[in-house]
Amino acid sequence: MTGRDVFEYALVRVVPRIERGEMINAGVLVYCRAQGFVGARVHLDEARLRCLDAEVDVLGVRVALRGYEDICEGGERAGQAAGDDPGRRFRWLTAPRSTIVQPGPIHTGLTADAAREADRLLELLVR
């Protein structure tokens, strides 16, 4: 890895009550084609989430967030997506959906290390 490569990222948001449109950031998805990297970093602040909806299914949210991580990691826990290349998995994960856990818009940047970039973005935008 030399220089800086283009990468894409999207926040993973939790919208406990779709009709209200309130959300918290709970993770970040990062994809860098040049480095063959796709990764998810998640952190769920339950207290903040319960401020938006005291009755939210926290366990269900955690399971959904783990699903993002599993698909990025590949392997048998990724299910059908296990055989897909990193770019295809990123595109599938960032497709719009109307569920409680959903991706935000895709942004781009430059990085020398996509895995470290994922950690940095989690700290900056989620924690």
pLDDT of 87 > 70? The answer is: yes
Q: How confident is the model at residue 111 (pLDDT cuts 50, 70, 90)?
A: very high
Residue 19 belongs to some domain of the structure: yes
The pLDDT score that the predictor gives to residue 116 is 97
Q: How confident is the model at residue 47 (pLDDT cuts 50, 70, 90)?
A: very high
Residue 32 belongs to some domain of the structure: yes
The pLDDT score that the predictor gives to residue 74 is 80
Residue 111 belongs to some domain of the structure: no
Residue 2 vs residue 104, higher pLDDT? 104
pLDDT of 27 > 80? The answer is: yes
Angle at 15 between CA 13 and CA 18, to 5 degrees: 140
- Give the number of domains in the chain: 1
